[in-house]
């Protein structure tokens, strides 16, 4: 499956952005999906994940309460709404997918994912 992320940009502290990731697959609802980010000079880190149905989500502590992950299985897309942005949220954001047959499966480790998008840059100015 190919993933195409979009929606990044420059925003001021406290602002909001919406990221989207479109997937090219006929069985999108069979995939668990996640968002990761990588800041300059740092390792890629987990941001959020959502299970195949969209009913179960998981978040990194650093974004809990500010970011929201959702999916539209009819449109083969996963979204990440970023609110109350901080300069430390500046990073390239990547979407990822893994074929997961289990409900409630929201993987947090990058090695658990099979496919990755190209990334979209989010810059938060202070």
In this predicted structure, the answer to whether residue 55 has a pLDDT above a threshold of 80 is yes
Sort residue 100 into left (φ over 0), alpha (ψ -120 to 50) or beta: beta
Which DSSP category does 47 fall into?
E
CA 85, CA 82: separation in Å to the nearest integer? 7
DSSP bridge pairs for 88: none
CB 66 within 8 A of CB 58: no
In this predicted structure, the answer to whether residue 91 has a pLDDT above a threshold of 90 is yes
**Mean pLDDT, residues 15-37:** 96
For residue 93, what are its two tokens? 């954001």
Q: What confidence score (pLDDT) does residue 26 get?
A: 87
CA 49, CA 52: separation in Å to the nearest integer? 10
CA angle 82–86–88, rounded 5-degree value: 110
């Amino acid at each position: 499956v190919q993933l195409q992320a979009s929606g990044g940009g420059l925003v001021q502290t406290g602002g909001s952005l919406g990221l989207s990731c479109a997937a090219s697959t006929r069985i999108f609802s069979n995939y668990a999906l996640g968002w990761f980010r990588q800041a300059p000079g740092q390792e890629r880190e987990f941001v959020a994940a959502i299970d195949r149905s969209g009913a179960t989500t998981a978040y990194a502590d650093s974004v809990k309460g500010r970011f929201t992950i959702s999916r539209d299985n009819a449109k083969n897309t996963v979204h990440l709404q970023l609110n109350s942005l901080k300069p430390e949220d500046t990073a390239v954001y990547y979407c990822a997918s893994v074929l997961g047959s289990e409900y409630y499966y929201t993987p947090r480790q990058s090695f658990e994912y099979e496919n990755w998008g190209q990334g979209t840059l989010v810059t938060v100015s202070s």
